[in-house]
Each structure stands twice: as structure tokens, then as C-alpha cells.
Structure 1
């Protein structure tokens, strides 16, 4: 193994992200809030909290039922990472529907994990990475870990991506040699 890759393996690499947890908003509807209106509110409120939504959009599969307690989960991506946005109706007053939005962590998909780990190793080692393979998705729970193998030329190292924090629905993790 080359010395640069070996010294990099001793470093704690971090993929960090920030997020938002809870806020309320209002939209108009008779029986439901159109999905596109809910999506716009998610983008607006999360954006105002400093959360960067990839492509500036959120996706809701259906309209939100205008009934107190009704809930649905929409999705957005931040830094390539999928994040749930749970929308729950808190009040209905005529055509005004108030709802809360909370972020919900999702697993970091294997493909995104491989890309992120490979990029972090390449940046910090200053060597090209030919391949990165990970054992699976990284669960959004502090302390959960997934093993990965990073290859540069004929050298390879085994690393572990371990969740250090889940904040605002985003999963932060360290990468270290095993």
C-alpha cells in the first residue's frame, strides 16, 4: 500500500451536513392541499432554515388530506442524500390548513456511500481512487457502520463508515481504516 493512502487511512474523514427539524406553515384548500403546494412549502421553509435541497425541489406522491392529524411523507435530497419530510396537519380553519414539517433520516444508499467514501479518500490522500465498494446502505442511526474497500492502483484498504450524528434528517459519518 502506498504511504499516502496508508497515512490517509489513519485520518478521521467526515461527511457533514446540516438540517432543520420542525416548523409550521399554512396553505389553502377545501378537502386537501395540492401536492405541489406542499412541495413548495417544504422547499421554502427548509431553504429559509439554510437547508440546501438538491435541484431546489421536494417530491410528494399525493395531495395532503385537509384533516387534523392527517400525515404524509414527502422526500427531498440534500447533498445527494435522501431525506424524508413528514407533513402533519395541525389545524383546519375553513380553507386554511396548517401543518408541521419534520425531517426524517433515510439510509445513505450504497451507491452514494461508495461515491462519498471514494471522494473523501481521494481528496485527503491526493491519489486517484479506482474503485470503492461498500457492503450496503448506511443506516441512519448513530453508531451504525458499513465496511468499504477503497482501491488505488494495486493497493487497497478496508475502511469503515460509522454514523456520528443524525441531524435534520441528514446522516453524518466518519470514515476510518479497519
Structure 2
């Protein structure tokens, strides 16, 4: 051990700043270029798509805020009315190995019955649901199915470039009776 440089100076104060600073975006760009050069990643790749989507979202925030101001006049609903519209506890479970949700809204419903709605989903590498179909074992209550479908439209999972292009899974909505 005495002659091995790997085992010298192993006691360090972690409160000290690191000797080298790494710019995360620069590092990602360098790795991306290496992967493109080695043929493991195409020039039309997920990393650039995600950056473009983030840039579009940042640019779109201003437009969305303008639309929100415009819509405030169109939909004058008091907080009490909003609270009255939201009813019904629900439990949501999903089965999509290796993924976590980015957005999975709790369904807003005013259905009188209870039941379980199972939706078979297909998610792309971007995390978007690209196909869905209600499972035959689901409740046949159209009110519950509509509430589940409404939540499903807003659902997104984490992007994963290593995932299958069309990853199958399920989302189960368990609605409790009012």
C-alpha cells in the first residue's frame, strides 16, 4: 500500500470545493457527440428532442400565462364552486417497470357508484402515452371510464432513452363511492 499512489491522500474535507468544476450540459453534449461518433446514437436523438421540448416549454410559459389571464374572464368560478365540483376519493396504481410518473392527476368525478377502471397503456421513450385501451375487467360505468380517460390525457411518465420504443403497462383507477 505504501508504494501505491491510489491509496495516498484519501482523507479529504468534503466541505472544500472540488478541484474541478463540471458543467453538466457541456458534459452531456460531449457524451452525446461521442455516442454519435461511435454509432450508438443517431443525430436525430432523444437528448436533443428533450432539450428542444424544454426550450419550447420555457418559451411557451409566457403564452400560457397570457391565455390564463384571458381564460380568467371566461370562467369566473368561485373557490367554493370549484370545491363543490371536486368530489370523490380515488386510488391510482400503475405498472410500468423502470418508470415513474411526471404527471398523473387524480381524477375529478361526481359518479355515484364505485368501481375499478384498468387502462392498458403504451408509453414511448419520451414518456407520452401513445396508445390506451380500457381493460375488459374494468367497471362498465361510463361515468368512471370518462373520469379515468380525462386523467389519462394529462398523464406523463419520465423520459427514458433506454426504454422500449413502445413500453406496455397499466394504470388502475379505483373509485370510491360518493
TM bracket, shorter-chain basis: under 0.3
- TM-score, normalised to structure 1, is 0.24
Bigger radius of gyration: 2
Q: Which has more helix, going by share of residues?
A: 2
Q: Which has more strand, going by share of residues?
A: 1
- TM-score, normalised to structure 2, is 0.24
